[in-house]
Amino acid sequence: MKRDNVCSFDSFYSSHPMGFGTQPSKFVVNWIEKNEFTRPPRKALDLGCGNGRNAFFLEQSGFAVVAIDISSQAIMNLRAAAKAAHARQNIAAVCADACSISLPQNEFDIALAYTLIDHIERPLADSLIAKILHSLKPGGHFLVTVYSDNDPSVRSLHNSTASPSSFWIKNPYSRDDLFSAFSNFNIMSHKEIDFEDNNHDYVHRHVMHQIIAQKPAH
């Protein structure tokens, strides 16, 4: 990832300590609530974790969580929130580039990349997806959201209607590109969603893919 992007995330998390909100994503909550996990100890990886809103939810749902973000400010905010809540013991927060960190093989029951892979240029993004496949247990799940190439802001990056966060997006996906990128997984579900974003200074729309991909059991 380019240094200017890292700096701009550091500056974003300095001026917005709540990051992209404090509530976990409904995508993650709904999936956890629908599934029963029977293999203790359960381990989760949250890549591009930001201030940890999803990592905290996973930890409260019984997972030992490794939460990784390239922004040192995001990791500082996460650690400060964990300290303030006292009870949170089971999150290892790591400041690192997800593209260069090494991950153990067959380690995690679930991995989450909530709007990360679209921040990374395509050849590196493909290597990251392969690395996550390697680090999931057989049968483990990968929950992913990425900006769609149908997103109105991504489509208008060069004019003034683009949302500020869209400038971070290097790699929006078409449905076909996404299925091709996850061809070594079993695709359990896919949705392209269109929603209103009121997390920034003005309300705007986004179009994103949500995909749940499973590492084959054999």
Ligand X SMILES: C[S@@+](CC[C@H](N)C(=O)[O-])C[C@H]1O[C@@H](n2cnc3c(N)ncnc32)[C@H](O)[C@@H]1O
Position 115 contacts ligand X (CB under 6 A)? yes
Out of 98, 103, 162, 178, the only residue in the binding site for ligand X (CB under 6 A) is: 98
* Total interface residues for ligand X by CB under 6 A: 22
Out of 32, 43, 45, 48, the only residue in the binding site for ligand X (CB under 6 A) is: 48
Position 99 contacts ligand X (CB under 6 A)? yes
User: At its nearest, how many Å lie between ligand X and the CB of residue 7?
Assistant: 10
Position 147 contacts ligand X (CB under 6 A)? no
Angle (CA) 113 23 156, round 5°: 60
Position 120 contacts ligand X (CB under 6 A)? yes
5 to 44, contacts with ligand X by CB under 6 A?
Answer: 9, 19-20
User: At its nearest, how many Å lie between ligand X and the CB of residue 217?
Assistant: 28
Position 114 contacts ligand X (CB under 6 A)? yes
Q: Which is nearer to ligand X, 6 or 133 (CB)?
A: 6
Q: What's the chain look like in SS3?
A: CCHHHHHHHHHHHHHCCCCCCCCCCHHHHHHHHHCCCCCCCEEEEEECCCCCHHHHHHHHCCEEEEEEECCHHHHHHHHHHHHHCCCCCCEEEEECCCCCCCCCCCCEEEEEEECCHHHCCHHHHHHHHHHHHHHEEEEEEEEEEEEECCCHHHHCCCCCCCCHHHHHCCCCECHHHHHHHCCCCEEEEEEEEEEEECCCCCCEEEEEEEEEEECCCC
Q: Which is nearer to ligand X, 108 or 114 (CB)?
A: 114
Out of 57, 66, 69, 211, the only residue in the binding site for ligand X (CB under 6 A) is: 69
Position 97 contacts ligand X (CB under 6 A)? yes
User: Tell me, what amino acid is at 78?
Assistant: L
Position 74 contacts ligand X (CB under 6 A)? yes
User: At its nearest, how many Å lie between ligand X and the CB of residue 197?
Assistant: 11
> What sign for the dihedral angle of Cα 169, 73, 98, 3?
positive
Give the interface with ligand X as residue ranges (CB under 6 A). 1, 9, 19-20, 48-50, 53-54, 68-71, 74, 97-99, 114-116, 119-120
